[in-house]
Structure 1
């Protein structure tokens, strides 16, 4: 394995103030049982929806072919509607849910729920059409045209379905990789439009929506809760935080080829309850594209006066950072993420970062409460010139008594590994055990490319680290 002790370069130290009282603040972490409770609530909603279907004759209608098709179509439509609302709620950035699940896990669940809802939506359309067609002489296409043109709210529902199709098609991984983040983000907003356009159709013609007062109250409450969550936590809270802490760009620094840091400051920074390792959604009001938020982790522990982010150029949004002018107004959402000192369960910690994923790791090294020997940092990069913040990490490690190790080289060919090719003769777990012999006694914080983190996580598990002691954040949606 190629292990290099990187000397401190002749660059000025970070300009952040270092008030110990501020930096020692820990984010209050929502207990993980909140995740179990919210998952249970999710299943209760689906069971209640099914119960409404049963109570309103869903089972009795299964006696004929037309009845079975129509009744099953009603059930799939109900569950699809409920899942669509759950999907919206999952990404409403409700703080308690986000802290309990972590935004990366919420995003994965959101994706799974979304595709399930979409498949059930199409099952609903097909089954309802076939069921109605079985009882009329107009045939399938005639029935479909009649439903769309003559049933209340169906034109709006059709437009909503088209909007949802656009969102789902562009969310398929192959299509997602071909789109710029900015384009994907804009298209994804049509999901809200699709959910909203479906509402009139359901309330005007849906049997389970109108059959009883309890049904009507249930569905209206579900829609109202989701709408309130979006309005409050996606719009209201971010606007309030940005007004409470008006931020502006203080400086822009080129850290290396294609890597830029932006330092923001302003009155009220100390009021932001943000911790080292977390990320925020950032909007820079510097021209076209300002409305699309981008997730950037803090690359330095917050000191109550400034916040620093660092990003590699991978698209239009990150490219803009290099040309940002000091004084540019900044809007924020967050903080988000469970990659912070508040989730720590052990005194000893291993911090592992690869590529630009070293940014939250650098902030954690600075922000963690530690004694000499408590923290080990493993910094992975393809080549020496890609060791972002090597000098700062070296100085911080020396100051805090941490151990800083770099692992350099192109990745191992032919297998998913966190190692360079020079260490291909070792398994991932063997290499990790050699670098950090007491790894099984440590909490592990990971940040890097998804495949790299998967490999590092597997190595840690193979070394005996319990999964509850491995903390990571994914930014791939």
Structure 2
């Protein structure tokens, strides 16, 4: 391991910078407002005066808003670099999920309202009417197939279903949402009552085209260009702990990626069938112009392949992503907290973040010493840079707690005992999602604000 001594200067409060990424939120809301305006302009409240026209009009409204939200939630995770850096992947993922569920239920309302309108006209259930509506009419068969695909994606996104799927399987199924959208959306422009005017048609096709262009460029174009330019290949693999390995990679001009400690990439190691399915890993050492490293815990067939990677294996990257970096700091004091393999971004932050001796504290929790990933490197860095390290060994006392069974103090009191000035620190946290939530609860109960707590949640 090589380390670099960093100038030890107190952190300055970052200046707020305004970029076009800050416009993304109002712009997204604006598209929903335009969708509602188009409905009012084309059909208006007068369309609600009878049951038949009211059902059809509300079906149109729920359809156009659902379409807009579907497009937004896909673009939100299109990996637009400026947006990722401004908001962070975990926040974008949460908003993506919220919009996905709203668009799904609006889409269901759209289908049910149109069904009710058609059946109301014939006075009851009629299979021939349903066949004509959802199968025979132009573009409706494609929309029906697309809707079925989107329903499948939503079902596999429910937490209970996700637990039964490997990340790679879930991610592959999730990609069908792109095809589902491509099949479901065009029928509106062809058949929709709100799409008769030329300027409305031009607006919607432009919106779809811009969304498609962003997805293709940010999810395929940028990663391909960066992977080709930087020529990253596996340099070697080292064993760190039972079921944990570090993959060392070498490339060229890597500083041009502007990678910061605490960030992650989507990695694709070209090692055999299935290599195109990417997996997110945080870098576990401070990046330089030639080297990158990730530390991986075996959690399935895909991650198990990491230990068999051969030197020279080509690596394709998406990123860097993530905002759990030194740039988030607003306090001179720094508290880092990690559980298990969550130590990987913390180890990188420990290496090259600017802090003076005595200004940083690390709380590292693991079940037993066999799980102490990178412990030797952590202790060496702590000695070189004057970091106070507390190893918290043992199983958690219960699922809602972040501390081992050795103490009877409350979570918040235990944290204040270990770090009395916790309310005056920037707190960087990484580990399993339930553990991080328990840390956040304890830190806020101990007097820290949520703005002081910096995390990156990779849960899917």
TM-score, normalised via structure 1 length: 0.92
Count residues in correspondence.
455
Corresponding residue for residue 3 of structure 1: none
1:135-284 counterparts in 2 under 5 A? 135-136=121-122, 139-210=125-196, 212-284=197-269
Shift of 1:159: 1.1
Are 1:419 and 2:399 counterparts? no
| In structure 2, distance between residues paired with 1:35 and 1:200 | 28
Shift of 1:62: 1.0
Q: How does 1:314-463 map to 2 (within 5 A)?
A: 314-413=299-398, 416-423=400-407, 425-463=408-446
SS at match of 1:249: strand
SS at match of 1:134: helix
- Once the 2 structures are TM-superposed, how far is the Cα of residue 138 of structure 1 from its aligned partner? 7.5
Q: Corresponding residue for 2:80?
A: 94
How far off is 1:402 after superposition? 1.0
Matched residue, 1:10: none
Q: Shift of the alpha carbon at 1:387?
A: 1.1
User: Deviation digits for residues 233-259 of structure 1, max 9, x if unmatched?
Assistant: 000000000011001000100101000
Conserved 8 A contact 2:22-2:86:
no
Equivalent-residue separation in structure 2 for 1:97 and 1:260 (angstroms): 32
Report the alpha carbon displacement of residue 68 of structure 1 after superposing the two structures with TM: 1.3
State the partner residue of 2:298.
313
Counterparts of 1:36 and 1:70, CA distance in 2: 37
Does 1:124 pair with 2:110? Answer: yes
Q: 1:72–1:127: 8 Å Cα contact kept in structure 2?
A: yes
Q: Could you say if the C-alpha distance between residues 136 and 32 of structure 1 is closer, same or farther in structure 2, counting changes exceeding 3 Å?
A: farther
Question: Are the counterparts in 1 of residues 343 and 364 from structure 2 also a CA contact under 8 Å?
Answer: yes
Q: Measure the CA separation in 2 of the matches of 1:266 and 1:430.
A: 46
Tell me what 1:63 maps to.
49
- Measured in 1, the distance between the counterparts of 2:126 and 2:396 equals 56
The partner residue of 1:134 within 113, 120, 124 is 120
Q: For residues 304 and 286 of structure 1, do their structure 2 counterparts lie closer, same or farther at Cα, with a shift above 3 Å needed?
A: same
Report if aligned partners of 1:282, 1:331 keep a CA contact under 8 Å in 2: yes
Instruction: Report deviation, 1:19.
Output: 8.7
Q: Is the 8 A contact 1:18 1:303 kept in 2?
A: no
**Counterpart in the other structure of 2:272:** 287
CA gap 1:136/1:54 in 2 versus in 1, 3 angstroms:
same
Q: What is the CA–CA distance in structure 1 between the aligned matches of 2:21 and 2:435, rounded to whole Å?
A: 26
* Contact in 1 for aligned 2:6/2:352 (Cα 8 Å): no
**What is the deviation of 1:348?**
1.1
Residue 63 of structure 2 corresponds to 77
- DSSP-derived class of the 1:165 partner: helix
Structure 2 gaps of 5+ residues are: none
- Aligned pair in 2 of structure 1 residues 205, 44: CA closer, same or farther (>3 Å)? same
**TM-aligned CA deviation for residue 40 of structure 1:** 2.3
Relative to structure 1, is the Cα distance of residues 466 and 354 closer, same or farther in structure 2, using a 3 angstrom cutoff? same
State the Cα RMSD in Å.
1.9
Distance 1:420 1:316, change over 3 A: same
Asked if the contact 1:298/1:309 (under 8 Å) is kept, the reply is: yes
3-state SS of 2:104 partner: helix
Change (3 A) 1:67 1:181: same
Taking the aligned partners of 1:313 and 1:207, their CA distance within structure 2 comes to 53
